[in-house]
């Protein structure tokens, strides 16, 4: 069993040019498979709203839902660095809310760190969480909680003005005390620039290769989430197809009497068979 990694390991990996591989997970079985595979870290993303709860976006996701899923993930992956994703309205209203809710991820769900979306506009929240001694990761570029403001799930930082704003956000996030930064759906050139300029690890989801590691959503990479697949996803399996085919085969077996067979049944105790049949006879 590999030792659980921590912040210093991720900094060492950045310095050594070693890539960090991480995915989202939302439940016990998925987390245990991720840990068994040897993943460097896990994000319990608020994408759980879309991938496992069937919401249309991440906005409806609550703190309570996040805590339940984080606890399940921790039980499944006790030796993996886990990040709890702060849901919409758990940190926007005040610095106090941000610290209180970030603390819940650590106290109630045993997460190692939290992540929140936004740059300068949430900088006092990032600073307050970091000052409370909680590892906080920034997340800029395509930030799904503000997709309405961004005009949809669209790539960001493709023109000089918006790229400049993201660079300024990245500097501010490091300055505020974040331990790492996630860039989502921005051009690789911008990712490379920000990664070189920052001392903290910079990770990508849909932001290209030149940085310190890659994140994918488990539902996307496993072919579990069927609503849409972003351009940046590489699909490694078609689990939905495997599951649907298994369910179809089961239906067929039940309808045709192929399941269950004798192998799937519990049997009467060998030394009590006679008594058993006698007892049944009493009811005839």
Which of positions 218-277 make contact with ligand KIV (CB under 6 A)? Answer: none
189: left (phi over 0), alpha (psi -120 to 50) or beta: alpha
Please report how close the Cβ of residue 268 comes to ligand KIV at its closest, in angstroms. 51
DSSP designation for 267: -
191 lines the binding site for ligand KIV (CB under 6 A): no
Give CA–CA dist 283/7, Å, rounded: 69
Which of 22, 41, 42, 46 forms a contact with ligand KIV (CB under 6 A)? 46
Structure tokens at 123: 């900088």
Question: If binding is defined by CB under 6 A, does position 211 make contact with ligand KIV?
Answer: no
Residue among 12 and 219 whose Cβ is closer to ligand KIV: 219
For the chain, list the strands marked E by DSSP. 20-24, 41-44, 81-85, 113-115, 136-141, 180-184, 202-205, 213-216
What is d(CA 256, CA 262) in angstroms, rounded to the nearest whole number? 15
- In the complex, residue closest to ligand KIV by CB: 45
Please say if 184 is a catalytic residue.
Answer: yes
Considering the complex, state which of residue 69 and residue 96 has its C-beta at the smaller distance from ligand KIV: 69
Binding mask 116-155 for ligand KIV (x = CB under 6 A): ----------------------------x-----------
Is the N-terminal amide bond of 260 cis, ω within 30° of 0? yes
Q: Determine the Cα–Cα distance for residues 65 and 46; give it in Å rounded to an integer.
A: 9
Rounded least distance, CB 217 to ligand KIV, Å: 5
Phi, psi of 259 (to 5 degrees): -135, 135
Give CA–CA dist 41/87, Å, rounded.
19
Q: Which of residues 170-189 bind ligand KIV (CB under 6 A)?
A: 182, 184
43 binds ligand KIV (CB under 6 A): yes
Q: How far apart are CA 126 and CA 132, in angstroms?
A: 10
Say which of 65, 184, 243, 249 is annotated catalytic: 184
Q: Does 205 bind ligand KIV (CB under 6 A)?
A: yes
Task: Examine residue 65 and tell whether it contacts ligand KIV (CB under 6 A).
Answer: no
Contacting range for ligand KIV; rule: CB under 6 A; set: 41-49, 121-129, 161-169, 237-245:
41-49
Beta bridge partners of 183: 140, 204
Q: Does 204 bind ligand KIV (CB under 6 A)?
A: no
Does 208 engage in binding with ligand KIV (CB under 6 A)? no
Q: What are phi and psi of 24, to 5 degrees?
A: -85, 155
Whole-Å CA distances, 133 to 103, 127, 129: 9, 10, 7
* Residue 206 engages ligand KIV in binding (rule: CB under 6 A): no
Q: Does position 85 bind ligand KIV by CB under 6 A?
A: yes
Site for ligand KIV contains 24 (CB under 6 A)? yes
* Residues near ligand KIV (CB under 6 A): 24, 43, 45-47, 85, 144, 182, 184, 205, 215, 217
Catalytic machinery residues: 184
């Amino acid at each position: 069993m590999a030792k659980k990694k921590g912040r210093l390991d991720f900094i060492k990996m950045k310095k050594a040019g070693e890539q960090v591989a991480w995915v989202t997970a939302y439940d016990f079985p998925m987390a245990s498979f991720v840990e068994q595979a040897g993943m460097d870290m896990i994000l319990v993303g608020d994408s759980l709203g879309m991938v496992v709860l069937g919401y249309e976006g991440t906005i409806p996701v609550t703190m309570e839902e996040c805590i339940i899923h984080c606890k399940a993930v921790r039980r499944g992956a006790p030796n993996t660095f886990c990040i709890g994703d702060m849901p919409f309205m758990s940190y926007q209203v005040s610095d106090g809310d941000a610290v209180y809710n970030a603390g819940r991820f650590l106290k109630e769900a045993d997460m190692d760190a939290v992540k929140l979306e936004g740059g300068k506009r949430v900088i006092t929240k990032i600073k307050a969480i970091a000052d409370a001694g909680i590892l906080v990761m920034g997340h800029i570029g395509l930030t799904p909680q503000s997709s309405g403001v961004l005009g949809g799930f669209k790539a960001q930082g493709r023109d000089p003005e918006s790229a400049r704003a993201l660079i300024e956000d990245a500097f501010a996030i490091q300055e505020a005390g974040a331990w790492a930064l996630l860039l989502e759906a921005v051009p690789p050139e911008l990712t490379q620039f920000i990664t070189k300029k920052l001392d903290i690890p910079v990770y990508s989801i849909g932001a290209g290769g030149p940085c310190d590691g890659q994140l994918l959503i488990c539902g996307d990479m496993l072919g579990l989430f069927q609503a849409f697949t972003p351009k940046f996803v590489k699909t490694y399996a078609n689990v939905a197809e495997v599951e649907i085919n298994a369910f179809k085969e089961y239906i067929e077996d039940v309808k045709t009497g192929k399941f269950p067979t004798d192998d799937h049944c519990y049997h009467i105790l060998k030394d009590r068979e006679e008594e058993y049949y006698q007892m049944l006879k009493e009811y005839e």
